[in-house]
Amino acid sequence: MTSNTSALELIQAIDQADSSDSLLDAVEALADARLEEATPTLIAVLSYNNPGAAVAAVDGLVQLGEVAVLPLLNLIDDYNYGGRAWAIRALAGIADPRALETLLEAAEGDFAMSVRRAAARGLGNLRWSKMLSSEVHPAQKRVFQALQLTSQDQEWVVRYATAVALQGLGGSVRVSQPDLVGEIKAELEQMLATDADLAVRTRVQLALKQLEEVEN
Amino acid sequence: MQESSIEGIKDLASAAVPIDAESLTVEQAIANLKGEDQGLQYYAAWWLGRFRIREPEAIEALILALQDDRNRTESGGYPLRRNAAKALGKLGELRAVPELVACLDCSDFYVRESAAESLGMLGDRSCIPQLIKLLTGGVAANQPIPGCPHLPQPCTAAIEALGSLGATEAIDLIEPFLEHPVELVQYATARAMYQLTQNPSYGDRLVQALGGDKLQLRRAALSDLGAIGYLPAAEVIFETLAENSLKLISLKGVLEHHVKNYSSESSSVSDTAIYLMNLMDNLL
């Protein structure tokens, strides 16, 4: 009862916010409360065209995790581009494999580099144990293909995120698909040899080092 | 790498419209720049810089455009010259230095500003005396003009360029600008003073700026800290209230500065680099 009352109050505070600052405060309070019934409101905030509030809402949705996945996927079909980009970032943070197709599409084709970067990172740490085991191997191969593409992105930050993601994927498939680990390492070696940005090459070095440490 | 950090932030700020590299070809851009249509000329000059087209023909046409007299604003500005000066800085072409130095005397403030920025990026120290001239009269001569959006001279660009070029002979002239009434000029001064002296008090001044009220000023300080690669700022950069994209660019500058100066790329990754990359990973 108390929880319901306070949820209602927190949600009303968002509707009643009359400035950018008070909206941010209200969204942060609702996000911190970690209430499942706050999901639709947090999702609505993603389309308010208020970056500070959207960041807070994404954090709140990532903390809620799985329960937010289907509502977020539904929003992706919506027309609001601003909201769409934030929803993809929330899905990348939650890393539920039901978002796989959406994240693949975003990593490979979104025009905003911040979305490609978040989607690439999300692909690298998907929680594979949540997926039907028969689907895991092909899906991991498909993710690797997408990361091969994003490793050539024209923005350094997307390539940096790709190095992080390849490290994550390499760790996930270490036991189940050793061949794929070899391909991932070859891809990282290729980036190390050719990438134009020192920061990206340094992150690639770290990814290779960590993959080798896990193996030994 | 300093230049690309600063530029990254500026590109990001203007990237509200997605950039379509296919919309022009190199040949077409060069032809447009040499052509009669002023709108196409203006766009071509920007485009050649944005996509780093280093063809000799493009560079010649851009240098020629620094003397354009046809494209004028109502108040007498030279839009094409501004874009050409900016592009030449990005192309890293030292042949442009004498013509860019000549632009420092242009009647249009924004041409002088673009030329100073580009000279800072090109790294040819021969322009230092002319850059110093822009600071003549010091802070007193460069007070804000009521009703005018800019100072008498492009102090920020000149100070930043002098810092990037390692103009230690300008230290005494630059330092008083720490007390300039405009915050962005103070930051440029702290940045240059750090580059010229390596004294951490100047880096700390920029770290303090990250705690300021105005987002626009926090963004500028992020850019400056990335440009000087100030390692003690890393944690504060991570915590600052600003877009993750800008924090990532700033930390990239710190990381690259560290790797270049303190560890050889072929050997293993240092603990400091790993610490910086952990921060960056958490901002993706």
Q: Which residues of B touch A117 (CB under 8 A)?
A: 284
B6 vs A216 pLDDT, higher one: A216
d(CA B169, CA A122): 50
d(CA A181, CA B233): 36
- Which CATH number fits the domain that encloses residue A70? 1.25.10
Model pLDDT, residue A3: 55
Model pLDDT, residue B258: 95
Domain endpoint, select from A48, A75, A94: A94
If asked whether residues A85 and A149 sit together in one domain, one would say no
Domain endpoint, select from A94, A126, A145: A94
Say what the ipTM of the complex is: 0.89
Q: Estimate to the nearest angstrom the gap between the alpha carbon of A129 and the chain centroid.
A: 17
- Which CATH number fits the domain that encloses residue A197? 1.25.10.10
If asked whether residues A116 and A207 sit together in one domain, one would say yes
If asked whether residues A105 and A186 sit together in one domain, one would say yes
Band (pLDDT 50/70/90 cuts) for residue A82 is confident
Q: Tell me the mean pLDDT per 10 residues along chain B, length 284.
A: 39 42 81 92 93 92 94 92 96 93 96 97 96 96 93 96 97 97 96 97 96 92 96 96 93 96 74 96 94
Tell me which residues of chain A have a C-beta less than 8 Å from any C-beta of chain B: 51-52, 111-114, 117-118, 121, 154, 156-157, 160-161, 164, 197-199, 201-203, 205-206, 209
Domain endpoint, select from A42, A76, A94: A94
Q: Which residues of A touch B268 (CB under 8 A)?
A: 205, 209
Examine the pLDDT at A25 and tell me if it is beyond 60: yes
B12 contacts B246 by C-beta, under 8 angstroms: yes
Model pLDDT, residue B97: 96
CA-nearest residue to A110 within chain B is: B18
Q: Does B69 touch chain A (CB under 8 A)?
A: no
Cβ–Cβ gap B248/A164 under 8 Å: no
Model pLDDT, residue B22: 53
Model pLDDT, residue A181: 94
If asked whether residues A52 and A107 sit together in one domain, one would say no
If asked whether residues A76 and A49 sit together in one domain, one would say yes
Report, in angstroms and rounded to the nearest whole number, the Rg of chain B calculated over CA atoms.
19
SS3 of B174-242: the string is HHHHHHCCCHHHHHHHHHHHHHHHCCHHHHHHHHHHCCCCCHHHHHHHHHHHHHHCCHHHHHHHHHCCC
A7-11, A47-51, A108-112, B18-22: segment of lowest average pLDDT: B18-22
B230 vs A7 pLDDT, higher one: B230
If asked whether residues A62 and A110 sit together in one domain, one would say no
B180 contacts B142 by C-beta, under 8 angstroms: yes
The residue segments making up the domain with residue A146 are: 98-216
Q: What is the pLDDT of residues A145-192, one digit of tens each?
A: 999 999 999 999 999 999 999 999 999 998 888 899 999 999 999 999
Q: To the nearest whole angstrom, how far is the Cα of B262 from the nearest Cα of chain A?
A: 13
Model pLDDT, residue B225: 97
Band (pLDDT 50/70/90 cuts) for residue A213 is confident
Model pLDDT, residue A41: 93
B235 contacts B250 by C-beta, under 8 angstroms: no
If asked whether residues A135 and A162 sit together in one domain, one would say yes
B226 contacts B250 by C-beta, under 8 angstroms: yes
d(CA A27, CA A11): 8
Q: Which of residues 89-108 of B touch A (CB under 8 A)?
A: none
User: Into how many domains does chain A fold?
Assistant: 2
Model pLDDT, residue A49: 85
If asked whether residues A113 and A213 sit together in one domain, one would say yes
Q: Which residue has the tokens 């839009």?
A: B79
If asked whether residues A85 and A105 sit together in one domain, one would say no
Span A11-38, mean pLDDT?
Answer: 89
